[in-house]
Amino acid sequence: MSMHNQSPTRAIAAAVLMLLAPAAMAQTPLAPRDVPAKTIPVPDDVSPQLQAIIAQPLHDGWNTPPTTPEGWKQLAASEAAAAGAVVEPMAKRLHVKIEQGMIDGVKVYRVTPETIPARNAKRLLIHVHGGCYVLNPGEAALPEAVLMAGFSHMRVISVDYRMPPQAYFPAALDDAMTVYTAALKMTNPKDIGVFGSSAGGALTLEMMLRAKQEHLPPPGAIAPGTPMADATEHGDSFQTNALLDNVLVSPSGFCDAAARFYANGHDMVDPMLSPVNGDFHGFPPTILTTGTRDLLLSNTVRIHQKLLQSGVQANLLVFEGMSHAQFTLDDRIPEDRQAFKEISAFLDQHLGH
């Protein structure tokens, strides 16, 4: 058989035999893969709405994050001012009301379905928003909370945690824990769910690690979406999906700069910044969500595998063609509706009632 008729399966089988010999493994240089430039069409196996989102070009300035505390603050503020145009019509469509409040000194939003079925009477979801620990203050945090309240028909408290330059690590986690501790006085731990995406996904995992440290009971279930679970740039999809993901775009872009701004010199390896390094034993049932073009695809699947290896019941959802956290955008995108239906069904299955 000539080399030109070597099949994929045979080539790999031969490689396995060769490479698993310990001597060969030590000596084999780990060659990177050279992937040529590609022009990748918008996939036609997703909804027209998602196709329109996928077709959006990389946004201006993806690689020029603010460089000063004032710059970050100004960016976050302008986002918050613009958020109402997305959040309020969505809340109306999904029949949920939004009220500002305060819990033990922490700013929150209460996002409440107009109708709450008896099954959900004692249930309470805590939302920790994304935005690389620095963005999405105020109403900008709420699209995901509105989607969850709308599809789960459960009460949601969204934590408007302190962010830099007002307060640095671990202020966001401290605020989330304040609300979690308060929630434990409102209802049974098993009736509580915690969710959030991106930095909010990381915070959800960090809360579980902190709850173990503080000997607090775990909630009934959690839903960390595409968690920023490794702030040290480990994770293959940081490279494979770079410049393909039209939200985060590149590990050298926005989000890592923001996370370092939040960490304020603290070691990024700390499980309270990179929860992939934590111990997941005893975590509650967990559902994770990501997309095939997500820069954090790898870190989501790494967390999923680590949960399974820690004996935790863990489910994984991966949406075709989606970049980072695009399942949290808008109820008019069919895939976003589907994501929140599936996450809601998981919470409904695992929370007490």
CB of 66 or CB of 211, closer to its own copies: 66
Contact characters 1-30, its own copies, x per CB under 8 A = xxxxxxxxxxxxxxxxx-xx---xx--xxx
Task: Tell the smallest beta-carbon distance from residue 196 to its own copies (Å).
Answer: 13
CB of 248 or CB of 272, closer to its own copies: 248
Q: Which residues contact 233 (CB under 8 A, 6 or more apart)?
A: 251, 256
Residues 45-64 that bind its own copies (CB under 8 A): 45, 48-49, 51-57, 59-62, 64
Residues 146-205 that bind its own copies (CB under 8 A): none
227: contact with its own copies by CB under 8 A: no
CB of 204 or CB of 246, closer to its own copies: 246
SS3 250: coil
Residue 287 in contact with residue 258, Cβ under 8 Å? no
Nearest to 97 by CA among 84, 108, 110: 110
Task: Tell the smallest beta-carbon distance from residue 268 to its own copies (Å).
Answer: 15
- The beta strands (E) that lie in 53-201 are given as 96-103, 106-113, 124-128, 155-159, 192-197
269: contact with its own copies by CB under 8 A: no
Judged on CB neighbours under 10 Å (0-12, 13-18, 19+), 137 is: buried
274: contact with its own copies by CB under 8 A: no
Residue 281 in contact with residue 252, Cβ under 8 Å? no
CB of 71 or CB of 101, closer to its own copies: 71
Cα 147 to Cα 94: distance, rounded to the nearest angstrom: 7
Going by their DSSP bridges, the two strands 106-113 and 96-103 should be labelled as: antiparallel
Residues 294-353 that bind its own copies (CB under 8 A): 297-298, 301-302, 304-305, 308-309, 315-321, 324, 326, 329-330, 332-333, 338, 342
102: contact with its own copies by CB under 8 A: no
